[in-house]
A and B are shown apart, each in its own frame.
Chain A
């Protein structure tokens, strides 16, 4: 099959997935979650109050209208208003995006670059004590609860040692820098373990291939083989792994943001969860899902472009 036909067919597959996601969101939040008005009004609400609120929130309309709202919002990004802050969700999203990105983008880049470098280094010394130690440290770091990283770092590095701001945020560069340093460090600590392990596995998969043996028997140096051959071929799974993480950068550093008082999308989402603010939860779910669908489309197409071995079926 031709690559263009494949791209078009793969793009069309987005439609049923998108419909599926909106169906699932509708099912989870509108259909079986129970009546949100009783949560919002508390246990002493009268039936009349609940009926009024239901009407105000549009929950008394037929289910297909409510479902259609969800489908529509995936394209228009019009999510209505928050139940708790009464603000337009779209404006909440745009004001939260920047603070989130000041943490998630540098953290993501640092973590990825650092992990790939470490993985290259240890695949050079594979099987040796350095390799074994690094892998053990990675697995240990993966085994620590993310909440423990946040709590301990905030207490020790910011509160005890005073190296970083304990909490807070200021808009504009470079004012935000002191506030995001520790959240970035925490993100890197949380993600470096799984990243290094993944990149190492990918590189070792290549190291045992025939072409590497051929290169070695030609007398090429191990260093040359690693950079010129192994890294190049390992790039395909590496790119896939990296690209597919990008949509989740929108959610920001959920817990970290709320602990450090960063007014981003992560803390907004957590506030919404705590306050049963369904429209905001739904908006974030739709946004992340749409981003995920688009980025998996991109990786799939990229994959077939860079790797001619991938058969198009």
Chain B
């Protein structure tokens, strides 16, 4: 037969268009670096002594302390690094929670239709009618404080958009020929939904995952402001929130450092999200 060239799949197409996009490539490197910092921090290999006093209170940035010190004379660099670990864990776990809920409810509603669909649509329409901050507050009241509560509160209040998208896509797919073929060879509902339809709507999940990730990192700041954020570990949110007392004394470095650290990774996720959309959404091909 000689050499049969296998036609490129959506994913290998997407990968080659992602790597050809310089901005997307830079974003992936940035996210990779942040992930590495987070993992090293989590293993206590770096910034484990962030609570140590390294200089006077509110020392301005200098060669000794590149980003200055906070009220207790702790290094802002070390706090930003420790904060990276917190932020990345919040982004990851929140995105997982909201993706699992969104995909599960969305695919079931879209696939089964009828009463199941009506109930799920009613539920998320109701849920979406309550402003986000109120949901965050209510869920945090219930779950208490701490990182685990943050993952759940942010994840639970952020799944509606994905659920809508997945539902719409599953409805578009469920009567296609390949699903009929699966029915013909005796595939059950579960198999059709998870083995056949979901892989075809998975690109939406990936795009949304990267957007959820950065939304969560940004929302953590609001939680910190409300006193519902990370406790006894430095997070970018608590650092930004602390600076409301510092700015009157012209202590700008903690705010700037935490804002910049967040800006870079959130920007990277935004750019990657856009690039993923361009690469994975067949509707946009050729534009």
Please tell me the size bucket of the interface on B.
35 or more
B138–A21 touching, CB < 8 Å: no
CB distance from A268 to the nearest CB of B (A): 13
**In the assembled complex, B10 has its CB within 8 A of some CB on chain A:** no
Q: Considering the complex, give the chain B residue whose CB is closest to the CB of A166.
A: B248
A22 nearest CB neighbor, chain B only: B126
B247 part of interface (Cβ distance < 8 Å) = yes
Contact yes or no, A208 B259, CB < 8 A: no
Contact A142 B129 (CB under 8 A): no
* Complex alpha-carbon distance, A255 and B223, angstroms: 12
8 A Cβ contacts from A135-174 to B = 139-140, 142-148, 151-152, 154-155, 159
A257 to chain B, nearest CB (A): 13
Q: Is B127 in contact with A251, judged by CB distance below 8 angstroms?
A: no
Interface residue A128 (Cβ < 8 Å from any Cβ of B)? no
A28-B139, A284-B134 known; A139 vs B270 contact (CB < 8 Å): yes
Give the CA-CA distance A209 to B262 in the complex, in Å. 38
- Minimum C-beta distance from B277 to chain A (A): 10
Q: What total count of A-B pairs have CB within 8 Å?
A: 118
Report B-chain residues with C-beta under 8 Å of the C-beta of A274. 226-227
How far, in angstroms, from A254 to B237 measured CA to CA in the complex? 17
A contacts with B: majority SS: helix
Task: Indicate if the CB atoms of B255 and A148 lie closer than 8 Å.
Answer: yes
Q: With A21-B129, A146-B222, A255-B222 known to touch, is A151 a contact of B244 (CB < 8 Å)?
A: yes
Contacts of B218 in A (CB 8 A): 143, 145-146
15 A-B pairs within 8 Å (CB atoms) are namely A23-B126, A24-B130, A29-B141, A140-B263, A143-B218, A144-B262, A144-B263, A148-B258, A148-B262, A208-B287, A251-B133, A270-B226, A285-B131, A289-B131, A293-B129
Contacting pair B267 A139 (CB below 8 A): yes
Given that A151-B240, A274-B227 are contacting pairs, would A17 and B122 also be in contact in the complex, using a CB cutoff of 8 Å? yes
**Is B240 in contact with A145, judged by CB distance below 8 angstroms?**
yes
User: Is A273 engaged at the interface, CB distance under 8 Å to the other chain?
Assistant: yes
Contacts of A296 in B (CB 8 A): 129
- Residues from 215 to 266 in B contacting A, C-beta threshold 8 Å: 218, 221-222, 225-227, 236-237, 240-241, 243-244, 247-248, 252, 255, 258-259, 262-263, 266
Judge if B123 is at the interface, Cβ distance under 8 Å: yes
Please list the residues of chain A having a beta carbon within 8 angstroms of any beta carbon in chain B.
16-17, 20-21, 23-25, 28-29, 32-34, 139-140, 142-148, 151-152, 154-155, 159, 204, 208, 248, 251, 254-255, 259, 269-270, 273-274, 276, 281, 284-285, 288-289, 292-293, 296
Q: In the bound complex, do residue A285 and residue B134 qualify as a contact, i.e. CB atoms below 8 Å apart?
A: yes
With A143-B267, A285-B130 known as contacts, the answer to whether A255 contacts B214 (CB < 8 A) is no
A20 in complex: contacting residue of B126, B135, B222, B287, CB < 8 Å: B126
B271 at the interface (CB under 8 A from A): yes
Given contacts A139-B271, A143-B266, whether A25 and B137 have CB atoms under 8 Å apart is no
Q: Do A142 and B270 contact each other (CB < 8 Å), given the known contacts A17-B125, A148-B259?
A: yes
Is B142 an interface position by the 8 A CB rule?
yes
Of A140, A143, A144, A151, which is within 8 A of B247 by CB? A151
Contact residues in B for A140 (Cβ distance below 8 Å): 263, 267
Q: Report the separation of the CA atoms of residues A25 and B126 in the bound assembly, to the nearest whole angstrom.
A: 10
What distance in Å separates the Cβ of A274 from its nearest Cβ neighbour in chain B? Answer: 7
* Known A21-B129, A269-B133, A289-B131; 11 more pairs at CB < 8 Å: A20-B126, A143-B267, A146-B218, A148-B221, A148-B262, A151-B247, A251-B133, A274-B227, A281-B138, A285-B130, A288-B134
